[in-house]
Structure 1
Amino acid sequence: MTLSLEWIDEREGGAGPKEEQWMELLEKLLVVAGRKEEVTKGIVTLTLTDDEGIRELNRQYRGLDKPTDVLSFSLLERDEPDIHYDDEYEASEEGAEEWKDEDKAADPFADLLGDIIISVPRAEAQAEEYGHSFERELGFLFVHGFLHLIGYDHGDEEQEKEMFAKQEEVLKEAGLTR
């Protein structure tokens, strides 16, 4: 398995041709960030949503009843992720030969790094506010979310400097400068 990106567009009207181009860019950023952080395998799920969708998640999971730009839900933060799944995902005797890693056979979530949710309208507004391209803002939010998935945080000034420097390195390498 390699490092891969799966995506969902929850916005009304869904994805179109421009979103396909975004995914190419975000896959590139995932490869660059993964290489820099020595993350070589796993699945990142990206959900594109609107302000109302992210507001609801922010309220539900963080207790903040307001929209935000990006949310990350890592499956690496705990020894045992708080995810439940049905027995139907476990290998049966018939399909047991399909599983190469028996430890992962009973856990369909073993390769998931986590979820990143981005509010597209918020990214558009911030790009305009900061005076750079939408692609640069989308990339910034995505890399920010990815770094959170693998354990980075910005709870204090030192952590923030480290995390934001890593984000800028990835964006620069991908050609997304201000």
Structure 2
Amino acid sequence: MNKIYLHSADKIANIKHKSLVKALVIALFEEECIALDQLSYIFCSDAYLLQINKQFLNHDTLTDVITFPFSEEGEPVYGEVYLSVDRIKENAKTFEVEYQNELLRVMVHGALHLCGYTDKTKPQKAQMREKEDYYLKQFNVSREANS
């Protein structure tokens, strides 16, 4: 089905080039050889995502992204990725990159989680960052350069 949906819970993300962003995410799944059924990105505030973090993960911390896979292993991916627009804006300032670049990085990060990547250990984080950078280069985005 390859459907990517963009929703606003309580914040609007103001994504530029939506069709290109969706194409990048679809290409990511294709390159990872992971079948994609449906993926919803839900944009929200820090408060909204904090409540989800507490309710479902028992974490009382702010985060920029939480990913929920709903499909079974071996089935085409069906999932939701919740993104805090507040956190992404703050991270963009911290890393001195444009908001759109950081937004795309976090969207790729969520998609990579649905492809089976995790970031619990230092080596896993390094692999995740390497994958993020690889896919962002496909879209001419980097964290090093403010483009």
Q: Which residue of 2 aligns with 1:57?
A: 52
Counterpart CA distance in 2 for 1:58 and 1:165 is 26
Whole-angstrom CA distance in 2 between matches of 1:164 and 1:112? 21
- Asked if the contact 2:66–2:110 (Cα under 8 Å) also holds between the matched residues in 1, the reply is yes
Query: Which shows bigger deviation, 157-166 or 53-62?
Result: 157-166
Structure 1 unaligned blocks of 5 or more? 80-109
- 8 Å CA contact 2:26–2:36 kept in 1: the answer is no
Partner of 2:8: 9
1:101 aligned partner: none
Deviation at 1:53, TM superposition (A): 0.5
The structure-2 alpha-carbon separation of the partners of 1:172 and 1:34, relative to structure 1 and needing over 3 Å to count, comes to same
- Cα deviation for residue 177 of structure 1 reads 1.5
Tell which has more relative contact order, 1 or 2 (C-alpha 8 A, sep 6+).
Answer: 1
Q: Which amino acid aligns with 2:6?
A: W
Aligned with residue 122 of structure 2, among 127, 135, 157:
157
The structural deviation recorded for 1:34 is 1.6
* 1:125 match: 90
CA distance in 1, matches of 2:9, 2:50: 13
Query: TM-score by structure 1 length?
Result: 0.71
- CA RMSD in angstroms comes to 2.2
Deviates more, 1:136-145 or 1:151-160: 151-160
Residue 92 of structure 2 contacts residue 98 of structure 2 at CA under 8 Å; is this kept in 1? yes
Aligned length: 143
Gaps of 5+ in 2: none
The whole-number CA distance in structure 1 between the counterparts of 2:42 and 2:80 is 7
Q: For the pair shown, which has the larger CA radius of gyration, 1 or 2?
A: 1
1:161–1:31 Cα change, 3 Å: same
- How many Å separate the matches in 2 of 1:5 and 1:32? 12
Partner residue in 2 for 1:39: 34
State the identity as a percent.
Answer: 24
